[in-house]
Amino acid sequence: MDYTNLGRTGVQVSRLCLGTMNFGEQTQEPDAFQIMDRALEHGINFFDSANVYGGAGGKGRTEEILGNWFAQGGERREKVVLATKVYGDMGQWPNQSGLSALHIRQACEDSLRRLQTDHIDIYQMHHIKRDTRWEEIWQAMETLVQQGKVLYVGSSNFGGWHITQANEIAKRRNFLGLVSEQSLYNLNARMIEMEVVPACLEYGLGIIPWSPLGGGLLGGVLQKAQEGRRSSPGMQQQIEDNREKLEAYEGLCSEMGREPADVALGWLLQQPAVTAPIIGPRTMEQLDAALGTLDVTFDEDTLGSLDKIFPGPGGPAPEAYAW
């Protein structure tokens, strides 16, 4: 496993991040335990969760599964760089969501209890909350850092302007500010290259792409269809909307002798500021398969071919839309 610094911090994380969103929904606790143990065997030390994850098991169930796994000992907690999130609706009352100081404090305490740990390594805001001022948010986060309950603060689904605003205000408070941004980013969804990537590069944030395979679209859907595997109606529509690109893409992957999923993940690892794409395996086999991406290499011609198939927004702003 290769490791890299998370943005401008000194903490070292694996180049793949284990996403746990399926735990408690499609993957039950015993299987989740096996997947997390195998992740450590592979050297994956970066785990991502959120307080709202849990699916049918209820909000918070995913963090509970992680906490039960940590409680087994074996230095599991010490080995893991643990990221979770705050923002989502955790109850019916007015202050049980968002980024008020009140909710941040309560949500952090609840996550710590479910996770059975005394600190969260990276506490991420799951979305921007436009009606809460940064002075309030940073005061709450600073308190958690001073108490040792949070080490680093990250964002998710922020725009470039939000990252700039947040870190400039943090700087005035002599606070480290945001160190990571978790964004939708894959070959077929490259909008963050306009504003978010430049902001992350400027402020030293590590990008953690979510949905790196486009919900499965970049994982060899045409090949799987030929093998008789069925897709959901929603995926079928996406395939038809993108069929020409997918045919070219899977053909290129075949020429490379690589699985489409490996190429999609490997391409992300080549992109500026990307720390670790999030892989969300439902099974042990899916986790093992994801490791194939770490030895994918790209020459300039291959990268150029991928840019032609999935051209993106045209680079950073303003050149993406102006001269």
Report which residue type is found at 78.
Answer: E
Report which residue type is found at 302.
Answer: T
Q: Pairing state of beta strands 206-210 and 278-279? A: unpaired
d(CA 272, CA 207): 9
Q: Where are the alpha helices (DSSP H) in 18-95?
A: 29-41, 61-70, 76-79
Query: Among the options 53, 87, 203, 249, which is catalytic?
Result: 53
**CB-based contacts of 219: which residues, under 8 Å, 6+ apart?**
213, 260, 261, 264
Please list, residue by residue across 79-99, b when 16 or more beta carbons sit within 10 angstroms of its beta carbon and e when fewer do: ebbbbbbbbbebeeeeeebbb
Q: Is residue 152 annotated as part of the catalytic site, yes or no?
A: no
Q: Annotated catalytic sites, by residue?
A: 53
